[in-house]
């Protein structure tokens, strides 16, 4: 199984969640062993996609370098990771990735438009060898050894629409596109009002997020799935785990996980090389992964 990149450059324009201004996103092919690279064309700064460059996880995953940053990268990365793309340049002309409809569906469509090609280098993958867990009270996120890739997430909110929800994704690209990519980010009306008072979430609307008051969903079209909330948490987790730098084989499990816990999990895993191994795909595993990303 070979490394991949996209077959041609593609562009889209969308609104940034926090500043509410148009942002142009461009994806360009990269040669083998380059990985995923971010570039801010407005300030001519490249920011590596590595855990040590994460500068904020309060409301989104944010990477930064030399005083410049790119926010809300996780939805775009979730789609890139789900497609198994190894090498890609992601260019934005502002300090955030456009939010689109609050899911990763638009980015999946963009990657479908770009197409994929194989490169003359073997695909590398990370195999989880030891269980690694990060906790915050009763909240936790865990990576553990497994023969396949699975995401198991549970959330609990004291809200009548959400309450307790669980979802397990036995990963394939097709399952991701059908069951995860359409799930939108969500928030509560009182939070949105507070953020706007601070000059944030200026681009947020019912067009790009599920918004709830104390009792109900405010979006007139309702939910895309009854458990859309936990499905979006898996979408976020897949994007956050892309900071590992490689697709991995293992099991991810979370209770009330967050961007902050996911970031700490990537750091904890990479801190000890005994936790994982980097392998080149061959044999039965190669065939299985090829089917997963077909």
- The 3-state DSSP class for residue 9 equals coil
DSSP 246: S
Please provide residue 131's backbone torsions phi and psi, each rounded to the nearest 5 degrees. Answer: -70, 135
CA angle 265, 166, 157 (to 5 degrees): 85
193 CB neighbour count, 10 Å cutoff: 10
User: Which residues touch 64 (CB under 8 Å, ≥6 apart)?
Assistant: 47, 53, 55, 56, 70
Pair 63, 49: CB distance under 8 Å: yes
CB atoms within 10 A of CB 38: 23
Q: Are 134 and 267 in contact (CB under 8 A)?
A: no
Give the whole-angstrom CA distance, residue 229 versus residue 253. Answer: 16
Residue 236 — left, alpha, or beta (φ > 0 → left; ψ -120 to 50 → alpha)?
alpha
Q: To the nearest 5 percent, what fractions of the chain are helix, strand and coil?
A: 30, 35, 35
Whether 259 is catalytic? yes
> Which residue is catalytic, options 18, 232, 259, 263?
259
Q: Kindly calculate the radius of gyration of the chain based on its CA atoms and give it in whole angstroms.
A: 18
Residues with active-site annotation: 259
């Amino acid at each position: 199984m070979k490394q991949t990149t996209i077959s041609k450059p593609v562009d889209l324009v969308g609104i940034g969640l926090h500043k509410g201004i148009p942002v142009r996103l461009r994806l360009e092919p990269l040669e083998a062993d380059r990985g995923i690279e971010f570039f801010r064309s407005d300030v001519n700064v490249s920011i590596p996609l590595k855990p040590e460059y994460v500068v904020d996880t309060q409301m989104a995953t944010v990477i930064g370098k030399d005083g410049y940053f790119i926010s809300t990268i996780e939805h775009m990365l979730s789609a890139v990771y789900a497609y198994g793309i190894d090498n890609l340049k992601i260019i934005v002309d502002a300090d955030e990735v456009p939010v689109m409809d609050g899911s990763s569906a638009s980015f999946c469509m963009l990657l479908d438009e770009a197409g994929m090609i194989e490169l003359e280098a073997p695909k590398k993958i990370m195999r989880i060898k030891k269980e690694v867990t990060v906790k915050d009270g009763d909240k936790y996120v865990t990576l553990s050894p497994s023969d396949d890739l699975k995401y198991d997430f549970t959330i609990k909110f004291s809200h009548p629409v959400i309450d307790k929800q669980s979802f397990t994704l036995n990963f394939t690209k097709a399952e991701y596109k059908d069951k995860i990519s359409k799930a939108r980010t969500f928030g509560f009306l009182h939070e949105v009002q507070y953020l706007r008072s601070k000059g944030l979430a200026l681009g947020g609307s019912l067009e790009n997020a599920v918004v709830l008051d104390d009792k109900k969903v405010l979006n007139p079209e309702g939910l895309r799935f009854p458990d859309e909330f936990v499905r979006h948490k898996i979408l976020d987790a897949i994007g956050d785990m892309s900071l590992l730098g490689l697709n991995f084989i293992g099991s991810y499990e979370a209770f009330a996980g967050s961007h902050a816990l996911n970031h700490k999990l990537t750091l904890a895993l990479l801190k000890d090389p005994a936790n994982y191994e980097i392998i080149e795909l061959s044999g039965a595993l190669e065939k299985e992964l090829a089917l997963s990303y077909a």
